[in-house]
Amino acid sequence: MRIFALELNNDILGLEERKAYIEALISKLPFPDLVLLPELAICSYLPNQKIWAYADQNSQDTSRWAKAMAKKYNTFVGVGYVDYEKGDYYNRYLIADENEVFGIISKSEGEAAVFKRGWFDNIINTPFGNVAVAICYDSRRKHFYQNIEDKEISLIVFPHGSPASTKKTGEEEAVNDYFCNLYAEAFDVPVIYINSLGQLQSMPGLMGKLMELLKFTMNGKTKIYAEKGEDIILDVEEAKGHEVTLTPQRRNKEIVFHDENLTKENLLFRKTILKLDILIGKRQYYKHKPQ
C-alpha cells in the first residue's frame, strides 16, 4: 500500500482555498493508495472559537469532499475537520474512499474552550484493516491505549495540530520519536505522525498566553515510522511517502504510562495550570456555543 502524509501550510485560510490547495498537492502524488492529512486540515488549525465559522454540519460536506478526492485520484483519504452536531462542536477525523466513509473519530481531550470533550472511540474499520486514530494530545493519553490494546490493528495514525518552540526543535523531534516508536514497536505496524507548518493562531487561556510568550509555531515534523516496506522518493516537499503491506497485528508488548500520560510531564503544571485552564475553557465553551 502506498501511503502518503501531507504536511500542510497552516497559514492558508478559507475552506475553498484550502480544498484547492490540498487537491493540488494530492494531484502531484504518484499512484497514492492512502492520503493522510493533519488535524483540522480542511479549515487549518485555529485553536479558538473563530473556527466555528468553518464547521461542517454532521460531517456532510467533508464526507462529500473526501469521497470526491478519493474517486478522482483513486485513493483512500483521511482528513481532519471541525464538525457541528446536535448543538456541539467536535474536532474530528474521517477516512473514506469514493463510495463511503468508513468511520469518524472525535478528539477526546480537545481544546476545552473550542470543542466538546469526552471519551470517544479510536478505531476506524477499513478494507485494509483496523486503523487506530488519535488526534494530537489524545495520542499520548492512556485512554487511547486502552481503546486499542486488545484489538487487531493494521495502521496507527496521529493527525496533529501541534505547536512548539522553534528553539527546541530537537526536543520536539525526540518526544515524537519516543511515543511514535513505542506504538510502532508494541503493535508492529506503521505509525504516521502528521503535523502542519506555519503560524499558531491565538489560543485562549493560560496555555495560549504561555505559547504566545514563548513564540510557539507549527513546526511540522511529519514522519512515517515503519520497520517494513520502503520510503517513496518524492519531489513534493510537503509529502512523506512509504510503501508497505499492511497486515493486522495484535500488541506484542506493554506500553508503560506515567499516570494517564505516555510522557513524563511536570506534575505541578498538570495539576494546577493545565487543570485550571481546562476548567475555564469549558466554561467559555458552554457560555458561547449556540444554545
274 pLDDT above the threshold of 90 = no
Domain boundaries, the chain: 2-288
Amino acid at 36: L
CATH match of 2-288 with 3.20.20.150: no
Helices (H) and strands (E) in the chain, counts: 7, 16
Average pLDDT over residues 42-58: 98
Please enumerate in sequence order all residues whose Cβ is within 8 A of that of 69, keeping only pairs 6 or more positions apart, or say none.
22, 23, 26, 35, 75, 77
95 pLDDT above the threshold of 70 = yes
Strands 155-159 and 191-194: parallel
In which band, very low, low, confident or very high, does the pLDDT at 267 lie, cut at 50, 70 and 90? low
Express each pLDDT in 16-46 by its tens digit: 999 999 999 999 999 999 999 999 999 999 9
Q: How far apart are the first and last CA of the chain?
A: 45
* C-alpha to C-alpha distances, 8 to 42, 115, 141, 200, 233, nearest whole angstrom: 10, 22, 25, 13, 19
Contact (Cβ atoms closer than 8 angstroms) between residue 93 and residue 83: no
Whether the pTM exceeds 0.95: the reply is yes
For residue 217, what is its C-alpha cell?
509555531
144 pLDDT above the threshold of 80 = yes
Q: Which helix (H) or strand (E) holds 279?
A: helix 275-288
d(CA 277, CA 10): 24
42 three-class SS: coil
Q: What number of other Cβ atoms are within 10 A of residue 118's Cβ?
A: 12
* C-alpha to C-alpha distances, 140 to 69, 132, 136, 197, 274, nearest whole angstrom: 30, 13, 8, 21, 15
In which band, very low, low, confident or very high, does the pLDDT at 272 lie, cut at 50, 70 and 90? confident
Express each pLDDT in 170-203 by its tens digit: 999 999 999 999 999 999 999 999 999 999 999 9
Dihedral Cα 104, 109, 115, 117, nearest 10 deg: 80
